[in-house]
Structure 1
Amino acid sequence: MFSRAFRVRSNTAIKGSDRRKLRTDVAAAFPNLSAEQLTEFIPNKEELNVIKIYSHKGEAVTVYMNNRNPILFEIEKALYPTVYTLWVYPDLLPAFSTWPAVLPKLAGGADLMLPGVVVPSSGFPQVEQGTLCAVTLLGNRAPVAVAVATMSTAEMLAAGMKGKGFAVLHTYMDHLWEYGDKSCPPTLAPLVTDSAEKESAEDEEEMEGKEPVISFSTDPLQRVDVGDLSLKERDSCAILIGKEELGENRAAGTAEDASTEVQQEAEDSRTPQEQMDALFNQCFFHALKCKVKKSDLPLLTSTFLRSHMFSCCPAGQQLDIKKSSYKKFSKFLQCMQHQKILQVRELNKGVESIVEVDWKHPDIKAFTVPEGFSSASAAQESKSEDREQVYHAPEIISLYGVSTKMLPLFQESGHRKGSILSSSEVRSIVINYVKTNELVDETNKKCLERLQPLHQVTFSGQEPVVRKGNIEPIDITIAQRSSNKKVTIIKNLELYGLDPQCVANILQQKVQASATIAPVPGTKDRVQVQIQGNQIHHLAKMLLEEYQLPRKYIQGLEKAPKLGRKK
């Protein structure tokens, strides 16, 4: 229901009479809450807000907020707790467990299929069709989803654990969760029965040759074929951090040769989506281990992907988040945050940054640099961790695309519409055409003007990138704020491989003035740096001398304050 963004219609504080009515409704909906818990849940004096929203499907939903977090949502007079509430009261609803790899699917709007439900040794909770339930991940009692059972417990077992078991309403990592403080689920120890269940499940994985207790096969090839939300996703999760780690995880209790054979079969059976997931994880851990330093934090997530992960991609392969199971890079980072590898925060509206990394996390420590990357470069990267990363200005070349009007001129030389040429190539083709057709006109120089402008950008150590249009210059402007104060605004730093947050931090230290980053109005993924005062002199020295960017790609340097004695 909240897998896509919703529209807020109103946001008001709750009245005293409505607060009392809400407490009565909560007591009726969740009778297992004690009087003390009910008072804690719906406090007498703390401010509660009522938010009216419309989901992406047009459904009217009422959300109750307490302490910045949504605690309840109401649909057609039925109350449902959020994951924030279930983390405080984990036993409020009957719970069913699933594999961790299923969570991104649920957050993306999928319902929970029965093949993806873990059957505990103690049996399922007894529920009827339409019962409100919680969904947990194996090994942690903290719920990650709220769902309605589509059939009773008896019907689930009678159906052989096939078909849709739960209609999911709300999950951790969906947009309702994002409306709160975006905290992660706590780690709650399973009950005794859950612990026995986990050990049983682990034993089943290790005993390759025995019959499993539940209906899932331990053979990796057979796992791939079990339902939409079955162990296929769990198997995908198992190979995320590299080929070597999959062999280690599945080698417990078996001979080394047998483990290698199973590993090879699992690799051969991977879908293109699973291969892209594995590639993203490899580049993610490679970037954290070899590229990112503690001094780089906070680091824009877009910069982390573009400048760090892309450079860790093996030759002949290309990262494409759309071809992965995550679909969005923010969802991928949320999954990593759920594993407590890093922490992402929205430092400014619409701008997310990595603010913390657990460098001692076992997955980071266990990662080894792939063979495709030379040990010399890895050693050099490791050696440079204690010093600032040197910025190399990109090489920018103006190019031209053959347009429809100019096609007859370039057809004879074997070019088609859309062919990309440099100015020297255009000049050579035109000269040959003039000579061949005995045409001479010294005054006609409009050829380049009629071609489609393009440009090529080459960053140090990366493949050239060709983009349409002329490259936008770094734009520096001076704006007037309240109390006649001036601020300097810098845009388009990202186009030249500069991290706006790093530039803001350096400027702040140099001029001892407040510097912030904010979204560029009218854009989705562009940000601008804003610093107090007219700081163009310092900017010019940084961009021209330290970063060695050509002056023609910087706009606004003429607005620097004139130096002289104050009268």
Structure 2
Amino acid sequence: MFKKKPQIKNLSPLKSSERRRLADQIRKDYSLPEPQSEADSEQTIAQPQTLSSIRNALLPEHTSSAKFTTTHGSSSSLISGTIYVGAHPDEEERVLWFQIGKDDRLIPTVYTLWHNPDLIPLLHIGETIVGKLKGGADLFAPGLIKPYRGFDSRATKGAVVAVAGHVSDTVPRWVGISKVDVSTLQDSATGTAAEGLHWEGDELWTWSALNKGGTAAPSALEGWPSLKFGIEQNMDNLDLDDDDDDDDDDDGPEGEHVTGGVAIAKHDAVEAASKEKDTLQGDDISDEHIPTTKEVDDAFLEAFVYSIYTAKKNNPGEPHGLDFPIQPSYLIANMIQPHLRNQSPQYTIKKTSWKNTKKFIKHLDKQQLLKSKDRNGGETVILDIDFNDQAVRTFQPYRLPKPKAADTSEDAAGGGAVKDTGTDQSLNQRLTLQTLYRASAKLVPELLPSKSQFYTAQQITQAIKAYLDANPDLINEAKKRYVKLNPFLANNILGSNSSSDDNRYLAAGEIDRGTLNRRIIEDDHLCVPHHILLRNDQTIDSDPTLKPKAGPAPHVTLTIERRGGNKVVTAIAGLESFFINPHLIRPEIQKKCAGSASVGQLMGGKPGMLEVQVQGDQRAIVEKEILGKRGVKPEWIEVVDKTKKKGKK
């Protein structure tokens, strides 16, 4: 359904009451169990059980919505609906749910399924067929692998179902609507089993607030039903010999083989079965070792202790070079990641048993390695670290892998999405803002040679002087400051507008030289303004990839307003145009302003344009200590104070 990019309107934040209503609707539509009491929930740490935690897992706080339109089906009929964008803890914003047509039911994306195990029925197919589904195909019944326990009883006609491959059998990668009652299907069933709506790799999966593209699926997830036991028991029943007798059992689409309730691509059957058997026996059959959850946990704990050991060694005096409180983002980016034994993508917080940074910090707190505190908004920060813990005193350093070279490529136009490299490359940058103009057809070729070329104001002024030097009869000998009007000047320049000043010049038959210069440059019907923001040693002449952008120059907007009653906040928008990553400066803003700060979608802005909010009127600190250190000049900052009371009429 989202094979082609949908047209998405501006995102708008959901009200808290609307978010709770939608979360409760999801609970009802998908028949989720009622939440336990607070006392009971303490016994089950892995899965949130309280009503508020279930709502947050389904629809996180600060979720936004937007209308969309796209085409669907073989006839490419137009269809519309709503997407819901939010961010799970320590992750960036993603499309989490969508609703289509007149169906009020919200349909989860794979990102939601990765955080909400067993939310919908999970069906299994051969790994080769997953690639076909990700190309936009529907799911056919002969491609299904029927486990020994049978299909999920919830997979009835019209139900929302997910699909996983037989290798990563606990990871949903495709979402669709069941066209038949899958729960009662037999091995000999044919036809379409489910219609595809969304999958890993489509345009919803690709959408990102930072324009970074989609996030790859994890290798395994806890809480989803595994197929491994069914395949292990079916190994002896799987006929791996391609006999002539097998042709009678081929009830599926061309190239698929059905035997003993297990459907798998013919050319992949032997390889897939042997690989799965090796996996079940615990053998490492891949070139790159896939670590277990315990191995990733141990690596994260080692990395944390290593970071404390290094800080203590390099900075003898407490707090050993660390600034408290330590934010979760700083912990992962500056303490854990650089000290991991293995820099493989397999070693991420999502691959640990904690799944997110908050639970990881809580675990370290229980181990008495640090002291933590929950702040408003659910964020957990580190208040202190025990540098004299035995684990730190007896730690033996290990060899760290060489860090990869950072990607220092710039956005060519000076206003695109900021690349998230994990380090703030905007600090101490030098910025130069240039205004350039493109000539309209009215000035070409008499005054300027090309309408596709960019000109500075000085070049346009020189072109006007050269035009007058080539036409000396236009100079008024009695008043050399004045220029006589010829048909070109009268019709193409003064005739572009019908202002009273132009009519006065036309009546007089002459115009002042300075006025003529300003008249040409300031009229966007004659000279279309463009801008380009150059960074550090960039020049427009040395880099042919740099292209000016149409419209006025960018600016950072500081909006001081009241939100949530009488609470005053400072909202900072437009940072991306100045190569500043909102996520990377949030911890610094929070520390400098001594107040809670958050990053979210800019209300009314284009998808991917972010806004940083910090408590209080912080315009002075933000302008001087945050933006000033990143090369943003005061004239590029616009302050909008909405807290001032309007004067009485």
**Does TM-score exceed 0.5, indicating one fold?**
no
Higher RCO, 1 or 2 (CA under 8 Å, sep at least 6)?
2
TM-score (norm 2): 0.40
More helix by share: 1
TM-score (norm 1): 0.45
If you compute each CA radius of gyration, which structure gives the higher value, 1 or 2? 2
